[in-house]
């Protein structure tokens, strides 16, 4: 039982390049989330998916797209990377729907855009 | 105004001290409340859920005050290993979570 896994762990992109961050969970959780965390700051929600087939914008969705491929996988795509997207990206999942349960986080992807 | 606000800290305390963190939230429809611990360059991990009746886990006590819209975390008899950043999180019943910016605690010998 690996929990929440993310790939890659580290990535360096040049401005304008695109990439997809992968996230998978093996806990049969319904809801999945993507956050970014900038130095000295908390987690800001980019997108979330309350259930397979649905996605919703969070606090900072601009410049990102997501795909809930199936119940296990939730990917985050940067179409044209910008230096402002340099951050640590965390994926998380939560049991059930609604907000009654805690989140389980992946180890993060550290992205630098030059 | 941010939806969830925390004491910015940092808190520097000696071993054995008692320290308290507060967190306020603005969305009165918030359903569930949590404290997470985050070690440097690691992912957040659940420390405690927070209930209206309050809950205690060893040296840690969490309280919720719905009327005043704040939650608190009390750490007694601080250990060196308690040094970390503590994040409060507030969930709506739509499943959306909002986190505070975190409070950094350093426990010194």
Q: For A59-93, what is each residue's pLDDT tens digit?
A: 999 999 999 989 999 999 999 999 999 999 999 99
- CB–CB contact B34 A99 (8 Å): no
Closest by CA position to A89, among listed A14, A23, A25: A23
pLDDT at A99: 60
Which of A102, A105, A108 is the best substitution to test chain B (most B C-beta atoms within 10 A)? Answer: A102
B92 has a chain A CB within 8 A of its CB: yes
Question: pLDDT band at residue B53, thresholds of 50, 70 and 90?
Answer: confident
Q: Stretch B35-56: mean pLDDT, rounded? A: 90
Residues 6+ apart with CB under 8 A from B64: B33, B50, B51, B52, B54, B70, B71
Q: By CA distance, what is A42's nearest residue in B?
A: B101
Which of A27, A36, A42, A108 is the best substitution to test chain B (most B C-beta atoms within 10 A)? Answer: A42
A39-64, pLDDT tens digit by residue? Answer: 878 899 999 998 888 999 999 999 99
Q: By CA distance, what is B5's nearest residue in A?
A: A42
pLDDT at A18: 97
Looking up tokens 């580290």 gives A10
Residues 6+ apart with CB under 8 A from B41: none
Residues of A in contact with B95 (CB under 8 A): 31, 48, 50, 94, 97-99
Q: Which helix (H) or strand (E) holds B44?
A: none
A39 has a chain B CB within 8 A of its CB: no
């Amino acid at each position: 039982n690996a929990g929440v896994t993310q790939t890659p762990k580290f990535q360096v992109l040049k401005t304008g390049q695109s990439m997809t961050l992968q996230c998978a969970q093996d806990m049969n959780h319904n809801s999945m989330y993507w956050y970014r965390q900038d130095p000295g700051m908390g987690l800001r929600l980019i997108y979330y998916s309350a259930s397979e087939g649905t996605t919703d914008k969070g606090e900072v969705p601009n410049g990102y797209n997501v795909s809930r491929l199936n119940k296990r996988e939730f990917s985050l795509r940067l179409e044209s990377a910008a230096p402002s997207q340099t951050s640590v990206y965390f994926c998380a999942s939560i049991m059930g729907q609604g907000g009654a349960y805690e989140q389980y986080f992946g180890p993060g992807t550290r992205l630098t855009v030059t | 105004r941010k939806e969830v606000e925390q004491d910015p800290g940092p808190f520097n305390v000696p071993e054995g001290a008692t320290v308290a963190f507060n967190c306020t939230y603005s969305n009165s429809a918030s359903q569930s409340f949590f404290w997470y611990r985050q070690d440097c360059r690691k992912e957040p991990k659940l420390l405690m859920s927070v209930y209206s009746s309050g809950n205690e886990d060893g040296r840690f006590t969490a309280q919720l005050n719905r009327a005043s819209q704040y939650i608190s975390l009390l750490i007694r008899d601080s250990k060196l290993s308690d040094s970390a950043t503590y994040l409060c999180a507030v969930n709506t019943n739509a499943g959306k979570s909002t986190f505070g910016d975190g409070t950094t605690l350093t426990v010194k010998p």
